[in-house]
Structure formats: C-alpha cells, structure tokens
Amino acid sequence: MDEKLIVVGEVVAPQGNKGEVRVIPLTDFPDRFAALDALTWQKDTESQRLSLEASRLHKNMVVLKFCGYDNISAAETLVGGTLSIDRRETVRLPAGHYYIFEIIGLDVFSVQGEYLGKVTDVLRTGSNDVYVVQNSGTGGREGTEILLPAIKEVVKEIDPAAGQMTVKLLEGLR
C-alpha cells in the first residue's frame, strides 16, 4: 500500500440496489466523507481512484455512492476493500495532538537520552492510548516490549518531523 495513503474506511456490504455501499469508518471524523470528491479503493493488489457522488451517515456506518456504480452487482465488487485518502487530506489536528500513523515508527528515548526502541503499535484503551515500544536490545532486553501510557506524566515530547519521542519512565514501566 502507498504510504502516502491513510485508510479511512472499509467497505462491508452493498446498501440497497442503486449501487451504494456501507462503510465502517476507520476515522475519528466520519463526517469527513461529505467533503471528499474521491477516495482510493484498495483490495489485495487492486487499486483505483473512485469519484464520490454522495455520502451520508447511517447509524454507525457511512453510506457512499460512487460514480459509475449504479446497481447492487457493481457495489458488491467493492466489498472487502479499504478506502483511503492522501495524507494531505487529513483533518488538521490541534497542536499537541497526533494521528496514529504519525506515532508508529517513532524512535523513543528516555529523558536521560537512553534509546528505548521504536513505537510499533498504539492501543486504544478508552481512557488513554498506550504506545507499544519494541525494545531494540539494550541491557539484554532485546525483543521485549515496553507499554507506555500516552499521558503527560510519561510522554514529554513528540516530534514527528525528527522521528522521535521523549518519555519519562515511571516506576514499573520497564
């Protein structure tokens, strides 16, 4: 997949018989679909840019209608694919807030300058996110994970441009 593309939805089923599809939004901004002109659809090795004709929210889903998809048979061909936008189309976040794709891959250092590893995943727990840091092997801890709560007491600085995060390890986090 093109790393400039950000997945914002997954096509799960046709909606009605006029070519609409039901989409699970994989974004914190499901209303974003109404402002888009096109999306990139991907499944396995297939990829195509689809022009968006209409969008509406329905329960916990987004219902989309793409140009040229005018019946249930055409809509069924999209099921199982993901829908992506270009990174430049992401919603601008307030200062100090970051997208998960900006966090994953950051090198993590302690406030003392010790390299702790790389962020490999972000767990969404409800109360706060947890950053999974894969330890690169300092002090015989190669391959171990450090789970860092994404709270101000722990995360001191995030600098996506520099590719790093600085953290203060609280007792019990190693």
Reported pTM: 0.69
Dist CA 140 CA 12 (whole Å): 45
Q: Which residues of the chain have pLDDT under 50?
A: 1, 140
Dist CA 72 CA 69 (whole Å): 8
- pLDDT at residue 44, rounded to an integer: 93
Dist CA 38 CA 66 (whole Å): 8
Report the mean per-residue pLDDT for the chain: 90
Considering the domain architecture, whether residues 9 and 84 belong to the same structural domain is answered as yes
Dist CA 60 CA 63 (whole Å): 10
Considering the domain architecture, whether residues 73 and 112 belong to the same structural domain is answered as no
Over the stretch 101-143, which tens digit does the pLDDT of each residue have?
889 999 999 999 999 999 999 998 888 899 999 986 655 456 6
- pLDDT at residue 14, rounded to an integer: 97
Q: To which residue do tokens 């007792």 refer?
A: 171
CATH no. for residue 124?
2.30.30.240
Pick the closest to residue 156 from 119, 111, 106 (CA basis).
111
- The sheet that has 164-167: what strands, in order across it? 145-149, 129-134, 115-124, 107-110, 164-167, 155-159
- Specify the length of the chain in residues: 174
Amino acid at 158: I
- Final residue in a domain of this structure, among 89, 109, 143: 89
- pLDDT at residue 80, rounded to an integer: 97
* Residue 25, domain extent: 5-89
Considering the domain architecture, whether residues 84 and 106 belong to the same structural domain is answered as no
Considering the domain architecture, whether residues 11 and 83 belong to the same structural domain is answered as yes
